Structure 1
Amino acid sequence: MAFGHLETGAEVHHTITVEVAILEKASGDDTPAILSAFTDCKENGHIIFSNTTYHVGQVMNTTGLKDTDIELKGTMVWSTDIPYWLNHSLPIGFQNQSSAWHLGGENIHFFGHGYGTLDGQGDVWYVYNNGTSNLHGRPHAITIWGTTNSLISGIRFIKSQMWTSTIVRSENVEMSDIYVNNSCSAETIQAVGTGRCNVNTDGIDTIYANNVTLVRWTVESGDDSISMKQNSTNIYMANNTFHKGLGYAMGSIGQYPAEFEIIENITAVDTVFYNTGYAGRVKSWTGITTGYPPNGGGGGIGYARNISFTNFTLHSVDMPWYITQCTSYNGVQGGCDTSKFKIDNMHWGNTRGTTDRNYVASLQCSGAAPCTGINIFDNDLTVETNGTKTLGYLCSNVEAPQGFNCTGQAPNTSG
């Protein structure tokens, strides 16, 4: 680890270049050196990871930074010590979710230059998880925590352990030019056997986040490509490309009994989808509380409002537009008309491409709080297999639909 100073006028910026030679550390764990660099450069600092491999075997909490620049020119590889991570990953305060790395502060600039990489060695996790949803202690790769006025750009995420990234209790944050590939190896697919091998490998989730910009993302995941969860407001997304996975997801939300939560003022434009489950969807829990989070709950209240999805290009998307208020776990079914979580003012359209089925939308809204202001417009779609026009709109409890006519009943599925 080399120390130096970069002087610019009257200001002195500490510069730490973390250059790790394997022979210098018998343990092979670079975490102490990395944490030391962040401590020494916590304010007005510049931390440079050289073009080499850094091994991370412990949790990292590098929050409280101020006016700090970070350059990742190499690769950070997380250990596969599953018992350690299950017992030590850092809580994020939502659904018992946790993270391997908390990064946060004011006026942070984190640059990967298009090649700096976080490698979670996820195949080990995908096999261990074996299709389980929300395994307690399985860490997110990174959480941007308590952060304002910051930019993260040009980072590559490979085989994340669970959710790739989360933005939590943060405001005025941009993440741009991000590459995420959470695909499974052939051996992992064979070992897991059924269902999605890489379940819960979202590209990014926002929680208690305001004024967030997510642009020029490329995501291959086994779950939500990009997801807004509780109290996400004023989110702008553009020029993203999704492979497989589930596209844009608003939710799930309404999981915590009687808690008021919102998702509001969300805009996504100019996005390309390849073989995704959906283009855009809203997903709420039923109004019946069953079990406890992360894999139980329901009965939350609030609203999702002013969500605009436009100028999309679809390649073999299963169901472009989707709403469900049927989400429940623990094997419980039904209760799809019980949610009091309100869905209002959706503007989804100006979309071209192909679908897997003859449905433009499936909109299962709750009888206890019917959807209003649903405007689905200008969708020029054809069925991939035969080239016929995609025409179907399945609806339940949609009041005064705009731009379309319902052609059938929406199924009670949790999405």
Structure 2
Amino acid sequence: MKKLLLLLLVTISFSVTAQDIYLHCGKLIDTKSGEVLTEKTIIVSGNKIVSVENGYVNPKKSEDSIVDLKDKTVMPGLIDLHVHIESETNPRSFVAKYTDNEADVAFQSTVYAKRTLMAGFTTVRDLGGSGVNIALRKAIDAGKVDGPRIFTAGKIIASTGGHGDATNGAKTGLLEDPGPDEGVVNSAADARKAVRQRYKNGADVIKITATGGVLSVAKNGSNSQFTVDELEAVVETAKDYGMLTAAHAHGDEGMQRAVKAGIKTIEHGTFMSEVTMDLMKQKQSYLVPTISAGKYVAEKAKIDGFYPAIIVPKALEVGPQLQGTFTKAYKRGVPIAFGTDAGVFPHGENGKEFRYMEEAGMPAIETIQSATITNAKLLNSENELGEIAAGFFADIVATNDDPTKKISTMENIVFVMKNGVIYKK
């Protein structure tokens, strides 16, 4: 009898997991070719795409299901290459690091993670937090929390007093001298140790702050903050551990040093010169423009008390520059990757970046490709993410309108599937 019951349970379990999903798509964006196809059926089994068929194909098994997306435009799950999933900037955030416990950060991060997923971003690269982002990634992978697939830097790496030194702005008694473990380096040896520590902690990628930044409680927002030998040590060590490198950079000299050292993505790129643009083309370094963040900080800096006074002039200077720099870089042929800096502005509003990129001169289809096949390649996941094709993860989203004709529809994702599970319908 026990054997019979066990066999019955196994049979029931198999029948549940064997259910396939047939997505009937009115329009389907082929991110590889850049074409918008019509009347296609995506067949999903488990967490993978089995095939993409012409026309509206009906299920072969009675337990299979159909999802009607005939009046929608369907595309691969979106990838944001620059988010900070643990937090959101607001007037309180500058004191929160002294009042919030790690548990507070963790619980709040789950809210931001779900909001990001519901906005159609099924994969993100988290570029720095307290280290809770690593635990969040594990919780999402284990199915304990709803959220995007996360590639995380853990804690960022900065120099003493640099953008990313968490003790900036603290009173004398709290002005500690953090080291590589906390993400502060002052030599090539420190830099190597910091990269190895992030690997040990479970990070996937490395993020450094090559120049000053807007939201750090420090005066300069664009000065160089890493020496050449420190940058080379970061890149060499990250390469040894198979980790992608990213550099926050507003100032041109800091960007040039980072690109020459081999940093793969330049985040923001505000005051990038034509010389640096040409260098990025030569080195195949990517610009992650984060126009959304620039617009947000410039807007909020005009509100009295929203930011500490030391931040306001930086926000007013840097914010309005990002979109114009992106236009020049795109026209000059700099490789572009999609990234928003969500967390500087509210999570879930990532889709605005598509509209800003199109306004700046990038065709709508290319903005979508930057958030799919380009970012998948940078994450070394080009055979799993960024396309709707057999063998790829079933990360699929849909909009009401065709974004190649109305890009603002990317701000209203109406269907979300990640790993074959429907989260929004």
Shared fold (TM-score, shorter chain, > 0.5): no
More strand by share: 1
More helix by share: 2
